[in-house]
Amino acid sequence: MELVIENVSKTYANGVRALDGVSLTIGTGMFGLVGPNGSGKTTLMRTIATLQEPDTGSIRLGSTDVLKDKEAVRRVLGYLPQEFGVYPNINAVTLLSHLATLKGITNGTEREHVVEGLLRRVGLWDDRKKKLGTFSGGMKQRFGIAQALLGNPELIIVDEPTAGLDPEERNKFLNHLSEIGESVIVILSTHIVDDVAQVCSDMAIIREGFVLHKGEPQAALDEIRGRTWRKTVAKPELDEFFEKHKVLTTRLRAGKTIAHVLADERPGEGFDGADPDLQDFYFMKLWRVNGDGNGGGGREGGNGKDQSILERDGHVTAVDSGKGR
Ligand code: ADP
Ligand code: MG
């Protein structure tokens, strides 16, 4: 089974062009769609999930025309939306059973069996009698996968499932997600590159509705291998350092800034060769650090908007300075 997205564009009524000629072919396995906030991920996920229409373009799932035959898509779709609300006063087993009925599992014995299987699978069987309102963020998201798996879907879409989870919950969630079979298509949309690095075998990077890159994470790392360098930089020197070098990412460790820099050769004193990580690649693509015609953008001429990188509490954040949102 393949999901083929061709030239999909969407401009909202307020003039925001959320998708700009998106073409992607997605096979079975875990596919990561990564991009900063506002890059069009949810718009694309909702469009594939038949919840909204694009202006132009086509989407095909196997032999099904997704935009025309919505019912056929919905029968094989499992969807965990970005804003997944749960009824706080109902317990997990009751809600999942209710959702299973809606999904067409009307035989009581079969339904009990399915519900138990899914709750065990996502590690919530022991918590099945607890009200959903008492669940942690991670437990809610794992419940979200359980409901997305109802009816053995062939296409599973999870939109920003790890946002707001603490590291332990996030790991648990990703582990459960990656246990979903290799024979189905799973699309994980996220702004966290490490999610993709951890569980995805294929990925695309999207910014401002435009696909900047598509390929296997391993190939992405190979593309920058030998060109990433690491240096610990003291705070007073940071400004000059940013001016002088193509800084990909910065991380705070014990109060010191460790910068990763892109360069064909060792950029100077005190630099060590760094193992490239997917975040380095991501920021190379997002941020036009180039000038070497290699990194960043990938879109000829660009659109005149700049990407800057801010560091907060050791987290690397891309801030789009161009779009005023
Ligand atoms: P992401 O999920 O990557 O954060 P979205 O698809 O939610 O991106 O949004 C893409 C762009 O479209 C953003 O600029 C957002 O503000 C805008 N947008 C999203 N939904 C709507 C809407 N219903 N009406 C108008 N603009 C929207
Ligand atoms: Mg979103």
Residue-wise pLDDT tens digits, 139-198 = 999 999 999 999 999 999 999 999 888 999 999 999 989 989 888 999 999 999 999 999
For residue 177, being part of any structural domain is answered with yes
Which atom of ligand 1 lies closest to the CA of 39?
Answer: 3
Q: Which ligand is nearest to the CA of 320?
A: 1
User: What is the chain's mean pLDDT, rounded?
Assistant: 87
Which residue is closest in CA terms to ligand 1's atom 7?
42
Is residue 196 domain-shared with residue 316, that is, in the same domain? no
Closest CA to 199 of 183, 185, 217: 217
For residue 231, being part of any structural domain is answered with yes
pLDDT of 127 above 70: yes
Is residue 130 domain-shared with residue 201, that is, in the same domain? yes
Is residue 108 domain-shared with residue 151, that is, in the same domain? yes
pLDDT of 93 above 70: yes
Give the distance (Å) from ligand 2 centre to CA of residue 226: 34
pLDDT of residue 182: 84
Which residue is closest in CA terms to ligand 1's atom 21?
12
Domain count of the chain? 2
Is residue 149 domain-shared with residue 76, that is, in the same domain? yes
pLDDT of residue 154: 96
Give the distance (Å) from ligand 1 centre to CA of residue 18: 6
Is residue 126 domain-shared with residue 195, that is, in the same domain? yes
Give the distance (Å) from ligand 2 centre to CA of residue 182: 25
Which residue is closest in CA terms to ligand 1's atom 1?
38
Q: List, chain by chain if needed, residues with CB within 6 Å of any ligand 1 atom.
A: 12, 14, 16, 18, 35, 37-43, 325
Domain at 28, CATH number: 3.40.50.300
The pLDDT tens digits of the residues spanning 262-304 come to 999 999 999 999 999 999 999 999 875 333 333 333 333 333 3
For residue 69, being part of any structural domain is answered with yes
Q: Which ligand is nearest to the CA of 18?
A: 1
Is residue 209 domain-shared with residue 91, that is, in the same domain? yes
Range(s) of the domain holding residue 120: 3-215
Which residue is closest in CA terms to ligand 1's atom 22?
12
Is residue 71 domain-shared with residue 201, that is, in the same domain? yes
Confidence label for 86 from pLDDT (cuts 50, 70 and 90): confident
Domain final residue pick, 162, 193, 215: 215
- How far apart (Å, rounded) are the C-alpha atoms in residues 307 and 296? 10
Is residue 113 domain-shared with residue 168, that is, in the same domain? yes
Which residue is closest in CA terms to ligand 1's atom 6?
40
Which atom of ligand 1 lies closest to the CA of 12?
Answer: 25
Which atom of ligand 1 lies closest to the CA of 37?
Answer: 4
Which of 8, 9, 43, 53 has most ligand 1 atoms within 8 Å of its beta carbon, as the pocket-test mutant? 43
Give the distance (Å) from ligand 2 centre to CA of residue 218: 25
For residue 325, being part of any structural domain is answered with no
Is residue 153 domain-shared with residue 271, that is, in the same domain? no
For residue 201, being part of any structural domain is answered with yes
Which of 14, 16, 46, 208 has most ligand 1 atoms within 8 Å of its beta carbon, as the pocket-test mutant? 16
Domain final residue pick, 215, 245, 278: 215
Q: Which ligand is nearest to the CA of 17?
A: 1
Give the distance (Å) from ligand 2 centre to CA of residue 235: 34
pLDDT of 259 above 50: yes
Is residue 192 domain-shared with residue 261, that is, in the same domain? no
Which residue is closest in CA terms to ligand 1's atom 25?
12
Is residue 203 domain-shared with residue 231, that is, in the same domain? no
Domain final residue pick, 215, 245, 274: 215
**Of 312 and 107, the one with more pLDDT:** 107
pLDDT of residue 84: 82
Is residue 105 domain-shared with residue 165, that is, in the same domain? yes
For residue 104, being part of any structural domain is answered with yes
Write out the chain in H/E/C secondary structure. Answer: CCEEEEEEEEECCCCCEEEEEEEEEECCEEEEEECCCCCCHHHHHHHHCCCCCCCEEEEEECCEECCCCHHHHHHCEEEECCCCCCCCCCEHHHHHHHHHHHCCCCCHHHHHHHHHHHHHHCCCHHHCCCEHHHCCHHHHHHHHHHHHCCCCCCEEEEECCCCCCCHHHHHHHHHHHHCCCCCCEEEEEECCHHHHHHHCCEEEEEECCEEEEEECHHHHHHHHCCCEEEEEECHHHHHHHHHHCCEEEEEEECCEEEEEEECCCCCCCCCEECCCCHHHHHHHHHCCCCCCCCCCCCCCCCCCCCEEEEEECCEEEEEECCCCC
